[in-house]
Every structure is written in C-alpha cells, then in structure tokens.
Amino acid sequence: MAKRNRKDVSKRLNEGCGQGRGIDYKPAIWITDFPSQGFSVQGLGWKTRREHHLFSMSEFRYFYALEWSPIIIDIREQFPLEFEETLDIAKQCGYQHPVNPNTGEPNVMTTDFVVTIPGTTGIGIIDQARTVKPSGQLQNQRVLEKFEIERRYWESRKINWGIVTEQDIPEVLVKNIEFLHNYFFIKNLSPLSEINIRQITAVLAKGVIQGEVSLSHLAAQCDERLVLEAGSSLAVARHLIANRKWLIDMNQPLQTQFRKKLALLATPSLEYETNKSC
C-alpha cells in the first residue's frame, strides 16, 4: 500500500475525503500522490461513475472482478481508518503502528476496498472490508500484525473483513473486463449516434443468430455495409456484452471468442434498448 504524509492525509480527510458513497466518495490516497505506483482504470467506474485510485496490479484486477459482480452496489477504495483508534489497537496488541518510512511518523491506515452489497433480506445495505495482498506475503509477520489491526478495527464495527489474494481473482474474467471496460458507457461510442448503434445492434444480432461467420468478420461486414469507421461495430459488441445485453461465457477469453462463431447464452435482441445507467 502506498504511504503518504499523515498531515497531508489528515488535511484531505478534513476536506471530506473518505466520506460519502458512489460518485461522491473520494479516497484517502490518490494516484497523483504516487504517479509511479498508480494504476489507471480505463474510463469511469461502472458502478460509481467516478475515477478509481489503485496502487497494485492485485488491486487493479480485484477492482475489475468487483465491477462485473451483480451483487456489488458500491466500491470505495483506499478507505481511511480512524487514526486514534488504530493507534489504540496497535498498542493493545503490542504492535508497532505503521509509520512513514521516511519520517518515522505514524501513518493513517487504509483498507484497500470497502464494498457494498444488498442486505440479506433485500432491505438496506451491508458493507464489507477487503484487503488485497499477494499470497506470498501472508507468512510475513509484520504483514500479519497490520492485518490484525485492520481485523480488530472492522470487527469493532461489526463489518466483515477479509483478505483477497491473486488466487481468489479469476484471471480470464478480469482480462475480459479489462477488454470491455471502456465500452460500458454509450458516450464512449462517440461519434456513433444512437441510430447507428441501433442499426449495428440489429445487424450483429441477426448475424450471430444465423451463426455463419465469426463476430470479427461479421463486425467488419457491418462497418462496410453501414459505411462506418473500421472497428465501430466491434465497439458496439463490446458495449452490449459489458451491459449484459449479450450474455456470454465470461470465463472464456473474449478475444478468442470474437474470432469464432459467437455462442451467446441467450438469443440476442435485434433492438437496442438504452440503459439509463450507461
């Protein structure tokens, strides 16, 4: 986890970072604080409609898995923990509180992700805290001490806390989401008009149903037929899959599937229906 001067983080928290939900949430640590360590997510978050700030490939991959999960309502990364409380927990445990390696000053601790799911009865919401760490570091005593501080912090709030490693993140699914991510929002299909998108959807769906050629070939034919820039129809196909208008096996590489006759899990609609959310 990237480290930042506590005074700077505290100032940011006083300005409202670490508060709010969805589009209004601002993390405690930003990519601009550590540009050499940050990972850029293509486009805005599907669920939050805002930029996300991630600091490891594992965080980056886990974020994409969360984006695809139908039960995740909100994703808040780099979530700040109450400084005085983590100091007290560290003291109770007999552990050194995490410090800035350059100054020796205690850091404001953060949890990598706080995710929100619906309540078990369909009423209300439930927050869950998740820390992302490579499995090879789970035997490191210092890492385990920091985990224990986090665990006790969230336990005191009756919030489920857990550790996520690379073994918990489905590799193919994540690569597929990365391939689709920037095509979720209809505005990212510009300069295509809604009429263009409807035309492309109808042509592609009909071709997929007939199943005579690969999607890549079908999309190229569609571009030529509608006199569109090369790649336009394939972009619409990615948009349709990202929005689950086309249901496909996401545990198989999409780029490979695009080069074959596409096998959808349900018959695609010939009509394009605009989602208010995208």
CATH 2.30.29 correct for 172-258: no
Check pLDDT > 50 for residue 1: no
* Tokens coding 22: 């969805």
Check pLDDT > 50 for residue 140: yes
Q: Of 127, 118, 137, whose CA–CA distance to 58 is shortest?
A: 137
Q: Which residue has the higher pLDDT, 15 or 95?
A: 95
Looking at residue 32, its pLDDT comes to 76
For the stretch 179-233, pLDDT in tens is 999 999 999 999 999 999 999 999 999 999 999 899 999 999 999 999 999 999 9
Identify the three-state secondary structure at position 200: helix
Taking the model in full, what pTM does it have? Answer: 0.91
Q: Of 147, 181, 162, whose CA–CA distance to 61 is shortest?
A: 181
CA distance 70 to 277: 14
Check pLDDT > 70 for residue 244: yes
For the stretch 158-182, pLDDT in tens is 999 999 999 999 999 999 999 999 9
Q: Residues, the chain, total?
A: 278
For the stretch 84-138, pLDDT in tens is 999 999 999 999 999 988 888 898 999 999 999 999 887 899 999 999 999 999 9
Looking at residue 103, its pLDDT comes to 84
Looking at residue 122, its pLDDT comes to 77
**In the chain, what are the domain boundaries?**
6-169, 172-258
* Tokens coding 127: 């927050």
Check pLDDT > 70 for residue 6: no
In which order are the strands placed within the sheet that holds 160-164?
Answer: 74-80, 110-118, 125-132, 160-164
For the stretch 33-51, pLDDT in tens is 776 666 667 679 999 999 9
Looking at residue 104, its pLDDT comes to 86
Check pLDDT > 80 for residue 4: no
**Contact criterion met (CB below 8 Å) for 194 and 241:** no
> Among 24-33, 56-65, 142-151, 173-182, which is the least confidently predicted range?
24-33
124, with CB counted inside 10 A (0-12, 13-18, 19+), is exposed
Right CATH for 6-169 from 3.30.565.10, 3.40.630.30, 3.40.630.10, 3.40.1350.10: 3.40.1350.10
Per CATH, 6-169 and 172-258 having the same topology is answered no
Report the pLDDT averaged over residues 251-273.
92
Looking at residue 42, its pLDDT comes to 61
Identify the three-state secondary structure at position 111: strand
**Contact criterion met (CB below 8 Å) for 186 and 197:** yes
Tell me the pLDDT of the chain averaged across its residues. 92
